[in-house]
């Protein structure tokens, strides 16, 4: 195994340590190491590593840089809300707090380069410095000159930038052109790999063999739906309690199958939190049904007129405006559906999703739907905006547009049916799709 991680200039023992921690990623680590060369040698200016979630990108980089004690800065791009934060973090981890305090208030890229140069003269690099950018896809939203500059940062000093991302490089390439980084792909873990990794952190109570057979069963159930290592680990944590009772490998399967199935419905979807799941396990079967997941609570209590406003909004969103006459006018005459069917309306409006409607139409429908006379008070209007903040309606037009704002209804048919049932309003009769 160690043959892969052989590189002159590094301590043998440390390499051994690294190899132990990087299960199933030896190939990639070896390749990286050979790219990096000896500590004082120049590395390739920029390396781009991509692969799916939980394929060990960050893990490999963390372990290698830490164990081999190379100067490095690991930066998550989510955290860098502004580029100044990024510069600060880089300077701080290479040169300490004095350097980072030299940056002006809102530094530009050239400020960064200037100070970096300055510091380099004082403390020239004896080893290659590494900047690791996690979630590099967010760099695309940053200043246009940031990514190209990072890619050729080596022109300043012995420094390499390693970008980690879930997206392939093709989606990054800025249209002004840039220095091409070296691409490196991390493939997904195979089933065998997953088994090997999961068996590693075995519970101290059990023998390794027993634990590994348990993992095998678990993978058999979940591998078809989920290959994410993080998620699988989460599941292992929450189902292991059942194995406590059994020590015989053969009986194990029969015993834990129902629990695994239940876990598939709840824990995997994060319907219940891990603490609640543990409590549920302690309660045993008798009361377990009482605990409901997050999505079970969909009932929303609303004031009376808000309900009608929501119903009116739903009708306005899913009925074509031409048909309002038919639904809300008393003497509309007999208009058959076929008469006003347009070609493109033959498909169900519910399949097409909600359509925007102006405020006037909403109010017109509202007044004809509510059975009593309602004064157009300020609170009716404020209810509309509070429905928007509750995300039951969405405002389509821009916030600044005061004149004739447009909305969309953002609730499902089931939801609106439940709402209209509480106010004794048969919404299905008023929907064009169900005519």
Partner 1 sequence: MSTTSVSKGCFVFKPNAKKKRSLTAEDYFTGCSGRAENSKVRFGICQNLWDRIKSETEALQDELNRNVLDSLLDLARKCSSTHRSSDWASKMRASEIPTAALVLGVNVPDHDMTFQSLSELLQQSVTPHVASVQANECATLKHLMKKVLEKLTGAVVDEEDDDEEETEQMSAQLHRSAHCSFSTLCDWYNTKTRKSSSGTPGKKRSSPSKDEPPRPPVVIIFKDLEAFNPKVLQNFILICSLYIERLPLMFIFGIATSPSTVQHMLPHSVSSLLCIELFQSLSCTQHLATVIDKLILTPQFPFKLNAKVMQVLISIFLYHDFSVRNFIKGVQLALLEHFHSRPLSVLCCEKKEAVQNLLQLSHQDLERVRQLPSFKRYVEELDRQEQVSLSSDDGHLKDVCLKLIKKLHKYHKNYYPVLRCLHTLTCSLPRYPLGKQIRELHLICLESNVWESEDYQSALKLLKMLAKDELISLLQKCAEILQAVKSKKMKRAFVQLEELLDKFKQLDTAAETVSSVEEIVTSPVRNLQKKTDLFQLQKTLLEMNESRRSKRLSPFEVLRNEALEFIEGLVKNHLFPPESQTLYEVCYYSSSATVRRHLNATPRTSVQAALSSPYYYIQNDKLKAEDGSVSNAAPDICIAYKLHLECGRLINLYDWLEAYSTVVSAAEGKDPDSEDFGKVDEVKHARFIRAVSELEFLGFIKSTKQKTDHVARLTWGGC
Using CB under 8 A, list all residues that contact partner 1.
53, 76, 78-79, 81-82, 84-85, 88-89, 101, 105-106, 203-204, 230-231, 233-234, 237, 270, 273-276, 278, 294-295, 297-306, 360, 363-364, 375-380, 383, 386, 389-392, 403-404
Q: C-alpha dihedral over 88, 93, 98, 104, to 10 degrees?
A: -10
Q: Which is nearer to partner 1, 284 or 403 (CB)?
A: 403
Nearer to partner 1, 35 or 380 (CB): 380
Q: What span, in angstroms and rounded, lies between the C-alpha atoms of 425 and 222?
A: 44
Mark out the alpha helices in 284-406 (DSSP H runs).
285-288, 304-318, 324-328, 349-352, 359-369, 378-389
Comparing CB distances to partner 1, the nearer of 182 and 413 is 413
Rounded to the nearest whole angstrom, what is the least distance from the CB of residue 56 to partner 1 in the complex? 16
Residue 29 or 236: the one with the smaller Cβ distance to partner 1 is 236
Is residue 47 a contact partner of residue 182, using CB atoms and an 8 Å limit? Answer: yes
Q: From CA 228, how far away is CA 194, in angstroms rounded?
A: 9
What the block records as the tokens of 307 is 């309900």
Closest Cα partner for 316 from 357, 363, 352, 360? 357
Do 271 and 265 contact (CB within 8 A), yes or no?
yes
Helices (H) and strands (E) in the chain, counts: 19, 8
Distance in Å, CB of 11 to partner 1, minimum? 27
Q: Which residues contact residue 272 at a Cβ distance below 8 angstroms, ignoring those fewer than 6 apart?
A: 266, 280, 291, 293, 294
Q: Would you say 4 or 388 has its CB closer to partner 1? A: 388
- Smallest distance from the beta carbon of 221 to partner 1, in angstroms? 19
Q: How far is the CB of 415 from partner 1 (least distance, A)?
A: 9
Nearer to partner 1 by C-beta: 152 or 234? 234
Torsion sign (Cα): 251, 255, 256, 257: positive
159 strand-pairing partners: 129
CB of 119 to partner 1, least distance (A): 19
Rounded Cα distance between 78 and 133, Å, is 10
Choice between 223 and 304, CB closer to partner 1: 304
**Nearest distance in Å: CB 364, partner 1:** 7
41 or 53: whose CB is closer to partner 1? 53
Q: Report CA Rg, the chain.
A: 31
List beta partners, residue 163.
Answer: 48, 133
Q: How far is the CB of 14 from partner 1 (least distance, A)?
A: 24
Return the closest-CA partner of residue 40 out of 13, 68, 18: 68
Which of 118, 61, 59, 64 has its CA nearest to residue 94?
118
Complex with partner 1: residue 158 or 306, whichever CB lies closer? 306
- For residue 2, give the nearest of 11, 15, 10 by alpha carbon: 15
CA-CA distance, 266 to 276, in Å (whole number)?
Answer: 11
Nearest residue (CB) to partner 1, 1 versus 402: 402
Two tokens, residue 285: 């079967």
Asked if 394 contacts 408 with a C-beta cutoff of 8 angstroms, the reply is yes
Smallest gap from residue 199 Cβ to partner 1 (A): 15
Smallest distance from the beta carbon of 7 to partner 1, in angstroms? 30
Nearest approach, Cβ of residue 427 and partner 1 (Å): 19
Nearest-approach distance from CB 207 to partner 1, in angstroms = 16
Q: Which is nearer to partner 1, 176 or 391 (CB)?
A: 391
Helices marked H in 45-190 — which ranges? 57-67, 83-95, 97-101, 109-122, 146-151
């Amino acid at each position: 195994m160690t043959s892969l991680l052989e590189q002159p200039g590094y301590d043998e023992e440390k390499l051994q340590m690294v190899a132990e921690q990087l299960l199933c990623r030896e190939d990639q680590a070896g390749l990286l190491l050979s790219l990096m060369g000896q500590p004082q040698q120049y590395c390739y200016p920029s390396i781009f590593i991509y692969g799916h979630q939980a394929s060990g990108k960050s893990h490999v980089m963390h372990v290698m840089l830490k164990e081999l004690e190379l100067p490095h800065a690991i930066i998550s791009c989510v955290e860098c809300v502004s580029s100044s934060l990024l510069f600060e973090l880089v300077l701080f981890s290479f040169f300490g707090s004095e350097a980072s305090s030299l940056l002006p208030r809102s530094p530009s890229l050239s400020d960064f380069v200037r100070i970096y140069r300055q510091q380099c003269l004082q403390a020239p690099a004896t080893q290659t410095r590494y900047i690791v950018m996690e979630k590099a896809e967010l760099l695309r939203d940053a200043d246009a000159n940031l990514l190209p500059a990072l890619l050729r940062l080596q022109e300043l000093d012995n420094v390499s930038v390693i970008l980690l991302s879930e997206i392939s490089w093709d989606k990054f390439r800025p249209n002004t052109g840039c220095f091409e980084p070296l691409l490196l792909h991390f493939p997904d873990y195979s089933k065998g790999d997953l088994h090997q990794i999961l068996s590693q952190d075995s519970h101290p109570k059990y023998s390794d063999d027993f634990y590994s057979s348990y993992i095998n069963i678990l993978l058999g159930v979940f591998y078809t739906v989920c290959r994410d290592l993080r998620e699988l680990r989460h599941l292992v944590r929450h189902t292991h309690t059942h194995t406590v009772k059994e020590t015989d490998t053969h009986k194990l399967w029969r015993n834990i199958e129902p629990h695994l199935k239940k876990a598939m419905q709840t824990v995997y979807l994060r319907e219940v939190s891990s603490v609640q799941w543990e409590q549920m396990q302690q309660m045993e079967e008798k009361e377990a049904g009482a605990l409901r997941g997050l999505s079970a609570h969909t009932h929303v209590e609303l004031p009376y007129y808000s309900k009608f406003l929501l119903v009116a909004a739903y009708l306005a969103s899913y009925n074509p405006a031409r048909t309002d006459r038919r639904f809300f006018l008393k003497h509309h005459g007999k208009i058959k559906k076929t008469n006003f069917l347009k070609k493109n309306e033959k498909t169900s409006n519910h399949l097409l999703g909600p359509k925007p409607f102006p405020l006037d139409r909403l109010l017109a429908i509202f007044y004809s739907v509510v059975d009593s006379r309602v004064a157009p008070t300020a609170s009716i209007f404020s209810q509309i905006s509070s429905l928007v903040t509750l995300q039951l309606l969405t405002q389509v037009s821009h916030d600044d547009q005061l004149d004739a704002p447009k909305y969309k209804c953002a609730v499902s048919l089931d939801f609106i049916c439940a709402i209209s049932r509480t106010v004794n309003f048969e919404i299905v009769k008023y929907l064009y799709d169900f005519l």
